Amino acid sequence: MQRRLGFVGIIVEDREKAAREVNEVLSAYGEVIAARMGLPYIKKDCFVITLIVDATTDELGSLTGKLGRVEGISVKSALSKMK
């Protein structure tokens, strides 16, 4: 299966409940994460994490599936069409 460039957007609504579990998932998938940026968004009292990934569709699906099961997390992703 081909690896493709993509991104993952994560919104953390409750940092105290979710931070440890989110970081454990991200550490487990460190080999597909090319870059990570996290920003607090004070107006909405949440945190936004953006990942740049180089992954197969299966790897990306597994990563986002595990993140999506964390309480207080919203996650969306996309992969490029280029191989």
The answer on pLDDT for 75 being more than 70 is yes
C-alpha span between 67 and 6 (Å, rounded): 16
Q: Specify whether the CB–CB gap between 51 and 73 falls below 8 A.
A: no
pLDDT of residue 83: 64
Residues 5-54: tens digit of each pLDDT: 999 999 999 888 899 999 999 999 999 999 999 999 999 999 999 999 99
pTM: 0.90
3-state secondary structure at position 80: coil
List, as one string, the DSSP characters of 14-48.
-HHHHHHHHHHHHHHTGGGEEEEEEEEEGGGTEEE
pLDDT of residue 53: 98
Kindly list the structural domains of the chain, giving each domain's residue range(s) and its CATH number in brackets, ordered by start: 4-79 (3.30.70.1150)
Residue keyed to tokens 């409940």: 17
